[in-house]
Structure 1
Amino acid sequence: MTTEEPKKTRSTAQKAVIGTALENERRFVSAQQLHRTLEDQGHTVGLATVYRQLNSLSESGYADSITIAETQLFRACSQDEHHHHLVCENCGKAVEVEPPSEEWISTTAQAHGFEVRRHEFEIFGLCPDCSASAKSQ
Structure 2
Amino acid sequence: MSNAHGNRAEEPAIKEQRVTKQRIAVGAALDTIDDFVSTQELHRMMYDAGSRVSLATTYRIVQSMAEDGQVDVLRNAEGEAVYRRCAASTHHHHLLCRNCGKTVEIEAPAVEAWAASVAQDNGFTEVAHTVEIFGLCPECSAAKAAK
Aligned to 2:5: none
Q: Match of 1:27, SS?
A: coil
CA RMSD of superposed structures (Å): 2.8
1:126 paired to 2:101 = no
Decide whether the 8 Å contact of 2:88 with 2:105 is kept in 1: no
**How far apart in 2 are the matches of 1:120 and 1:84?**
7
Aligned to 1:16: 24
Aligned to 1:93: 102
Decide whether the 8 Å contact of 2:91 with 2:107 is kept in 1: no
Aligned residue pairs, count: 130
1:64 offset after TM fit, Å? 1.2
Q: Match of 1:29, SS?
A: coil
**How far apart in 1 are the matches of 2:58 and 2:146?**
36
**How far apart in 1 are the matches of 2:89 and 2:17?**
28
**How far apart in 1 are the matches of 2:138 and 2:106?**
16
Matches within 5 A, 1:1-137: 5=14, 8-68=16-76, 69-99=78-108, 101=110, 102-105=112-115, 109=118, 114=122, 117-131=127-141
For structure 1, which segment, 127-136 or 61-70, has the greater mean C-alpha deviation from structure 2 after superposition?
A: 127-136
TM-score w.r.t. the length of structure 1 is: 0.75
**How far apart in 1 are the matches of 2:48 and 2:146?**
31
Q: Match of 1:74, SS?
A: strand
Give 5+ residue unaligned stretches, structure 2: 1-12
Higher strand share: 1
